[in-house]
Structure 1
Amino acid sequence: MRGIGMLISAMAAAVGGCIAEMCREQKYFQVTKYMFQTEKVSSASGKIKIVFLSDQHNKVYGNKNKILYESVKAEKPDLILIGGDMLIGKKGVLAEPALDFVRRLPLICPVYYANGNHEQRMKERTAYFGNTYHEYKERLLKAGVHFLENETVHLKIKGTALCISGLELPLYTYKKFQTFPIKKEDIRKRIGTAARDELQILLAHNPAFSEIYKEWGADLVLAGHLHGGLVRVPGFRGIITPQLKLFPKYSGEMRKDKNQAVIVSRGLGMHTIKIRLFNKAEVVSVCLYGPDGKNHL
């Protein structure tokens, strides 16, 4: 009986510890740094720093997100890319927390914003959401934020040519318990053919189709949506997605495949399912460099 009691006590302590850790992780974020070497970055460019933000869901860190803003600024990025779901697409929920943060980012460097499913449903379902999304977008446009809604922009940073595309797939591709046969032709119909000579970066909110994104021709995929898999097995991967899929291949890490890479942000906030365990929220900082770029790091 004593052994059973000790086991129950140990289990209770473990559960209590996990609950305490979940509460702690919901208050903080980290800066996760990745490095991606590619021949498409000019050796003369040295390093190119990109900060990638996703899934803020109106989360606030410090007074008016000062802590979050200063952390982004401290990275000294050449470019800030946003992968969507910065607000919460729910009727009656204000977009102000996300708006107040994002509209300050162009003070740091150029900002490009691709929508997630929350922005997209607000945009497409105006009969329900009204003009909330359009007002949000207009205010960010005035602040200098560039939106990529099935659009592509060509940039040159430090002598390296970048092609950045923002992809919006149909909203039904986000449905739970279903798999959709997305093909590279579907992507081409929306944003055209991938760049060959430029470094092709694809902002695609849903990482479920990452293999197709790579087949389409993306050199670097930046995604989010899965909130890190809610609970992560340290050193392995996320356990479950908000869509209730187990052990997703891409959930909150960087995976390289020859000359291509997929980076999935664990996000900055939460909404309906407010669980994080061994899965701290994050700002993603990506250092791009060419064949001889390590000499400049």
Structure 2
Amino acid sequence: MKTTGIIVLILVIFAAAVLAEVWRELHCFKITRYRIRTSKIKGDAGKVRIAFLSDLHNHVYGKENEELLLAIREAKPDLILAGGDMLVGKAGRDWTVAADLMKKLPQIAPVWCCNGNHEQRMHEQQEIYGKEYGYYEKELKKAGIHVLVNGSEEIPVNGMKLRLYGMELPFGCYKKGWKVCPLTTGEMEERIGSAETDAYCILMAHHPLYAETYWKWGADLVLSGHLHGGIARLPLLGGVISPQFRLFPRYSGDCYEKDGKYIVVSKGLGTHTINFRFWNPAELVVLDIIPAFLYNK
């Protein structure tokens, strides 16, 4: 009996510790920093710092998101990029929390955003959501935010020539289950055109599953989110499960490189439906793009 009591006590303490950590991770965020080297940028270019937000899902850190805004301000970014799912795209859900944060960001640095699957479903399914997406987008544009819906813009900053793309994926790419919906470079070109070869191409595409296709299309850097870090993370294995219920997704939340091309996958700033995180704190990504000749300076 004594041994059983000790085991029960240990299990209770362990469960309490897990719950405490889950609560902490749902109410706090960290800053994750990456440095990306590129030989594509030469001449007099200097580094470019990007603050990358994704998957806020209407979450609030401090009164009116003051904690998050302070962290972004202190990072001193040249650009702020929002990679989608800033709101919760469900009928009857309010989008003003996300809009209120977004509208304050241009006071810190120029802002570009793309749509995640939550904004996209509101955009494409007006029979369900009415004109709510249009109202949301209009608020962002009034604040000076560049909204890239299957479009691109050239951004000259610190001597670099950047071409930024924002793509909505075919909505079947977000379908749940084990069967993977294919995505081809041809489908990408139909949506956003060809990659510009004489610029450093940054692609915001919400779902990281198609990293290989994005690179093949011509992206030098891909910014994604969607997987919320895999809900929980395990040492060496990474994220446990994707929103499509696939175990141990390959690109669940980190910076990945192949042949000089990169994909940065945010673990997100919020949750929805499954309000759970473990060993997987929410994050604000701060990313420095550095020309090769400046890398060690």
Shorter-chain-normalised TM-score: which range? over 0.9
CA–CA separation in structure 1 for the residues paired with 2:237 and 2:33: 18
- 1:151 counterpart = 2:151: yes
Q: Look up the match of 2:218.
A: 217
- 1:181 counterpart = 2:182: yes
Q: CA offsets per residue over residues 70-104 of structure 1, 9 Å max, x none?
A: 11111111111111000010111111110110011
Letter in 2 for 1:134: G
* 1:42 shift after superposition: 3.2
Q: Equivalences for 1:2-21 in 2 at 5 Å?
A: 2-21=2-21
Q: Look up the match of 1:272.
A: 273
CA–CA separation in structure 2 for the residues paired with 1:266 and 1:151: 25
Letter in 2 for 1:85: D
Q: Look up the match of 2:121.
A: 121
Q: Look up the match of 1:288.
A: 289
Q: Look up the match of 1:68.
A: 68
Q: Look up the match of 2:89.
A: 89
Letter in 2 for 1:89: G
Q: CA offsets per residue over residues 139-181 of structure 1, 9 Å max, x none?
A: 1101000011110111111111001111111212111003112
CA–CA separation in structure 2 for the residues paired with 1:295 and 1:159: 18
Q: Look up the match of 1:169.
A: 169
TM-score (normalizing by structure 2): 0.96
TM-score (normalizing by structure 1): 0.96
- 1:108 counterpart = 2:108: yes
Q: Look up the match of 1:133.
A: 133
* 1:11 shift after superposition: 3.1
The structure 1 segments of at least 4 consecutive aligned residues displaced by more than 4 Å after TM superposition are 1-5
- 1:78 counterpart = 2:78: yes
* 1:243 shift after superposition: 2.1
CA–CA separation in structure 2 for the residues paired with 1:136 and 1:186: 27
CA–CA separation in structure 2 for the residues paired with 1:145 and 1:3: 62
- 1:260 counterpart = 2:261: yes
* 1:295 shift after superposition: 4.7
Q: For structure 2, which runs of at least 5 residues remain unmatched after alignment?
A: none
Does structure 2 conserve the Cα–Cα contact (< 8 Å) formed by 1:43 and 1:293? no
Does structure 2 conserve the Cα–Cα contact (< 8 Å) formed by 1:41 and 1:288? no
CA–CA separation in structure 1 for the residues paired with 2:292 and 2:24: 41
Does structure 2 conserve the Cα–Cα contact (< 8 Å) formed by 1:43 and 1:292? no
* 1:188 shift after superposition: 1.2
* 1:2 shift after superposition: 4.8
* 1:13 shift after superposition: 2.4
Letter in 2 for 1:202: L
Does structure 2 conserve the Cα–Cα contact (< 8 Å) formed by 1:26 and 1:276? yes
CA–CA separation in structure 2 for the residues paired with 1:291 and 1:10: 52
* 1:47 shift after superposition: 1.6
State the secondary structure of the residue aligned to 1:242: coil
Q: CA offsets per residue over residues 24-79 of structure 1, 9 Å max, x none?
A: 11110011000000012335322210111100000001111111111111111111
Letter in 2 for 1:135: Y
Identity of aligned residues (%): 43
**Greater CA deviation, 220-229 or 181-190?**
181-190
State the secondary structure of the residue aligned to 1:109: coil
Q: Look up the match of 1:23.
A: 23
Does structure 1 conserve the Cα–Cα contact (< 8 Å) formed by 2:53 and 2:285? yes
CA–CA separation in structure 2 for the residues paired with 1:279 and 1:5: 32
RMSD of the TM alignment (CA)?
1.4
CA–CA separation in structure 1 for the residues paired with 2:277 and 2:262: 25
* 1:233 shift after superposition: 1.0
Letter in 2 for 1:67: E
Q: Equivalences for 1:222-237 in 2 at 5 Å?
A: 222-237=223-238
CA–CA separation in structure 1 for the residues paired with 2:216 and 2:15: 43
* 1:242 shift after superposition: 2.3
Distance of aligned partners of 1:14 and 1:43 in 2 relative to their CA distance in 1, 3 Å threshold = farther
CA–CA separation in structure 1 for the residues paired with 2:215 and 2:40: 16
* 1:214 shift after superposition: 1.1
State the secondary structure of the residue aligned to 1:81: strand
State the secondary structure of the residue aligned to 1:104: helix
Does structure 2 conserve the Cα–Cα contact (< 8 Å) formed by 1:25 and 1:281? yes
